[in-house]
Chain A
Amino acid sequence: MNPTAAVQLVGISKSFPGVIANSNIDLVVRTGEVHALCGENGAGKSTLMKILYGMQQPDSGHIEVNGAQVRFRSPSDAIKAGIGMVHQHFMLADNLTVAENVLLGAESEHGIGGKARRRIAELAATTGLRVDPNLPLARLGVADRQRVEILKVLYRGARVVILDEPTAVLVPQEVDELFGTVREMRAQGYTFLFISHKLDEVRSIADTITVIRRGRCVGTVDPRQVTSRRLAEMMVGSELPDPGSRESTVTDREALRVEDLTLLAEDGERRVLDSVSLVVHAGEVLGIAGVEGNGQTELVETIMAMRQAASGRVLLGHAGDGAGTEGGQVDLTPLGTLRRREAGIGYVPEDRTRHGLLPSQPLWANRVLGYQSRPPISRGVLLDVRAARADTERIVTEFDVRTPGVDVPAAALSGGNQQKLVVGRELSGDPVLLIASHPTRGVDVGAQAMIWEVIRGAQRDGLAVLLVSADLDELIGLSDTIKVMLRGRLVADADPATVTPEQLGAAMTGAAL
Chain B
Amino acid sequence: MPDRSRGRSPLGTDRQRLDLIAFLGALCLFFSTIEYLFPKPVPFFRLGLANLPILIALDLLAPGEVLLLVALKVVGQGLVNGTLASYVFLFSAAGSLASALVMLGAFRLFSRRITLVGVSLFGALASNAVQITLSVTFIFGSSSWVIAPLLGGLGLASGLVVGLFAERFRRKSEWLRVVREHIDAA
Our verdict on whether A and B bind, yes or no, reads no
Interface residues of A (CB under 8 A from B): none
